[in-house]
Structure formats: C-alpha cells, structure tokens
Structure 1
Amino acid sequence: MHRRRRTALVLSAAIATAVPFLAACGSEAHPGAAAVVGGRRITVAQLETRVNEVRQAQRAAVPDDQQYQQVLAATSSLTRDTLHNMVLDQVLHRAAQDNGISVTRKEIQQMRTGLAQQAGGSAALQNAWLQKYGIAPKRLDDNLRLQLEAQKLAKQLGTDTTQPAFWKALSKASKELHVDLNPRYGAWDVEKSSRVDAKTPWVREVSSSGTQATA
C-alpha cells in the first residue's frame, strides 16, 4: 500500500467477496432481467450493451488478433463481473443518499485530473481502467463518482472501506433495494458472505495523487 492512506474506491476482488447482502433469485419472476434493484430491472440487453462497450474498447486497444484472444481469455468472466459492478454501484449510491452524501461534477473532474496526471495522461488513465478493472472509457466518470461516494461515506462513518461499519451501511442499503440477482449470472451465499462461481473485482484503494494500492 502507498505510504499515504487512501479512501477512494475502485474495483477489487478482496472486498467484493466479503459482501454479505446479495442473494440469488428466481429469474422466472423477472423475464429478461439480469437483476432487479430497487424494483428496477437491469435488463439482459443493458448488461450486454455494457459488456460490448468494454469489448469494443479492448479490441481498439489491442488490434493484434492473437493478443486480443489472450485478452478475451483473461476476461472470460466479464459479463458476470460487469453485472456485479452495476448492482453494487446502485447499492453504494443508495447508501450514500441515505447518509446525505452527494458528489459534484467538479469533484469528479478534480479526481480525474489527478489520476490522469498520475497515469501519464487522459488516454493512459482510460487504458489503465479498461485493462485493470474492465471499465469502458465512456464509463470512467461514472466509476469515479462511485469512488468518491465510497470515500465520503467511509469518512462520514469515521471508518474506512475495509471495516464492518462501512459494509453495514451498504448492507442496509441493499436490503432497502431488495436486490434480486438472476442465478444465470451467479449467486451470493449469504451465510458465507461470498459469491458462488465468480471472481468479481470491485474495490481497490487509490489516490488521485499516488500510485494504486494492492488488494
């Protein structure tokens, strides 16, 4: 970990597998839904659109056919990972709202500028997020909003993103939203607080002025 404490979030397997609140559902109740969060469906079509955004960006970044096949093999769980991130994004946003937290466009731009300087430019930042976290360039600002919400939430709770108080707030938000996950894309074992049959990056501590930490 970098010598300075970081509180912003990016995608990380270590924290995702500790989330205790998502459960599998019967997809028949919501035909065409990949998940239902707060009564709203995340449709299979919406999920596929997000996945295609990443695949198109990956292809543009790796024009060599052989190398691109290696990228596909390395990100074979992209669909499930993407859905998981879409759900957790809404859960965290709800937790932030419950605690009176908001993020401004200016704050997002400030974080983006700092990270771009660290990465060596805007294009390098977009490529880093694409390669490491499966975030398409057009979704980068959305992801940075997520990071800032998590950072502010942890600070308000007087904790950090690794502590029970932070996850208790997310658990509360998840229960309010009645998250319903289509088992086609995996499931959550509530008792074991882990996802079945998936490796999902979600949070990794970062700083707009330092290097990224190791999960």
Structure 2
Amino acid sequence: MHRRTALSVSAALLLAAPLLSACSGEARPGTAAVVGGERITTSALQAQVKDVRDAQQRSGNAAQLMAGSTQLERVKLSKMIQLRVLEKAAATAGITVSVKEIEEVQKGQLAQTGGSRQKMDEIMLAQRVPLAPGQVEDEIRFQLLFTKLSDRYGEDKVLEPLAKAAEQLHIEVNPRYGAWDTRQITVGDQQTSWISQKTRPEQPPAGA
C-alpha cells in the first residue's frame, strides 16, 4: 500500500465567505476550521492532540517524541481537513473503504511487529504525524482512500479530483493555527492580525 502523509495540488482553490468570523470580525469561538459548511471544533482538535500527548508521555522516549512534534495542533488539523478532502473526492468517484479492509490492514501491521501491539503503537507515535492508538483507523482509512483514488485516476492525475473536492468544500482555517495553503492542501504559516493571538499553538516543552 502506498503511504502518503501529505497532499499537494497546484490548482488555485476558492475559499468560502468568512464562516469563521462573526459580524464583529472576531473569530467564531470554538472553531478550528470550516470544511464543507461543517465546523471542526477546537475541542475535537484538542482531544486528538491530548490523546497523542498522553500516549507520548507513557512512552519510554517521551522527551524525544514531544520534541519532534512541536506543531502538533497544526499538523493534526491539517490531517483532519485532508481526510475530508479525500472523502469528498472518493464519494464523487464512487469509492468506498469498508470496515473489513481497515481491519485487514491493522492485522497486517500487527503481524509486522510480531503481534506486539505496544511496538505497533510506538511506531505510530514516531511517525511525522504521530498517532495515538485510537487514531489508527482514521489513518488507515486516509491511506486506503488515497491509494484507491490514485489507482482510479493515476498517480500523476489524482491531484485534479482532490483539488476539485477541496474547492467544493470551501475550506477556511482559524488563523490561530495558520493559513489554508491551497497549493499544498495543508495548514501553513500565516502572519495575521485578524484575531488576537492570546492563545498560541503548542510550544516545545521546556528543556526539549
């Protein structure tokens, strides 16, 4: 199975009206992003971050893992948005991923670690986008959808349906986490005075 943890497109994508902002121009409280008219709440994002941090703390090399994932809020939000882009493109193409397919991949991953779930969890935590145990199924779904779309359209042309799907979803990101990069389909850096930066994305732990 091809493994890809980031998507890139070169087509320009359209953004929706400012769904993140209220009439006063302030960011709507509790919203990390709006995708397809649906909110990704800050609480949902922070829950994913907390699960990873808790799993890292339980690891034998917690300091190293945490030092290597200082922008965890941003990368997790990117992945949550990217999954929705993949789901939109897959739905348009009539592509699905079954529970059985996900289970088969999980069995294969477990077999590669000699049946050690602890070792598999450690491998997932060490990825560029670290995964807590409860997040593995979504990651497998992500990879399967991307692989099936690549098989359908060809690896050199799969970016076209992804770009179209992203455009249709009208993605907008709270500037607290950065800016939606239409070329890379990810959340990147942004300098902005749109909202007060009273609460910043995670910083490296002291001494890391």
> Given the two structures, how large is their TM-score scaled by the length of structure 2?
0.76
> SS of the counterpart of 1:28?
coil
Partner of 2:97: 103
1:117 alignment partner in structure 2: 111
Question: Which has the larger displacement, 184-193 or 111-120?
Answer: 184-193
> Aligned AA for 2:43?
A
* Structure 1 residues 46 and 130, CA gap change in structure 2 (3 angstroms): same
1:80 and 1:22 map into 2 onto residues whose CA distance is: 21
Residue 32 of structure 2 corresponds to which residue in structure 1? 34
1:73 aligns with 2:53: no
Contact 2:8 / 2:184 at 8 angstroms: preserved in 1?
Answer: no
What's the secondary structure of 1:36's corresponding residue? Answer: strand
Q: Which runs of 5+ in 2 are unaligned?
A: 23-27, 191-208
1:177 paired residue among 169, 172, 175: 169
User: 2:81: which partner in 1?
Assistant: 87
Normalised by the size of structure 1, how large is the TM-score? 0.74
- What does 1:1-215 correspond to in 2, within 5 Å? 6-7=1-2, 9-12=3-6, 15-16=7-8, 21=13, 27-29=20-22, 30-62=28-60, 67-121=61-115, 122-132=117-127, 133-157=129-153, 159-160=154-155, 163=156, 165-190=157-182, 196-197=188-189
Deviations 1:1-39 (A, max 9, x none): xxxxx43x3424xx4587864869674243321000111
Instruction: Pick 1 or 2: higher relative contact order, CA cutoff 8 A, min separation 6.
Output: 1
Say if 1:23 and 1:72 are closer, same or farther in 2 by CA, change over 3 A: farther
Aligned pair in 2 of structure 1 residues 103, 123: CA closer, same or farther (>3 Å)?
same
Cα deviation digits, residues 54-107 of structure 1 (max 9, x gap) = 001111123xxxx43333222100010000000101111111111000111111
| C-alpha distance in structure 2 between counterparts of 1:195 and 1:40, whole Å | 17
Contact 2:171–2:180 (8 Å) recurs in 1: no
Task: For 1:186 and 1:195, locate their aligned partners in 2 and report how far apart those are by CA, in whole Å.
Answer: 6
Partner letter of residue 166 of structure 2? S
Structure 1 residue 129: deviation in Å? 1.3
Check conservation: 2:15, 2:172, Cα contact below 8 A: yes
- 1:123 positional shift: 2.9
Counterpart AA for 2:118: A
Distance in 2 (alpha carbons) for counterparts of 1:193 and 1:90: 11
Structure 1 or 2: more helix by fraction: 1
**Paired residue secondary structure (1:53):** helix
Unaligned runs of 5+ in 1: 1-5, 199-215
Query: How many Å apart are 1:112 and its aligned residue?
Result: 1.3
SS in 2 for 1:102: coil
Larger Cα-atom Rg: 2
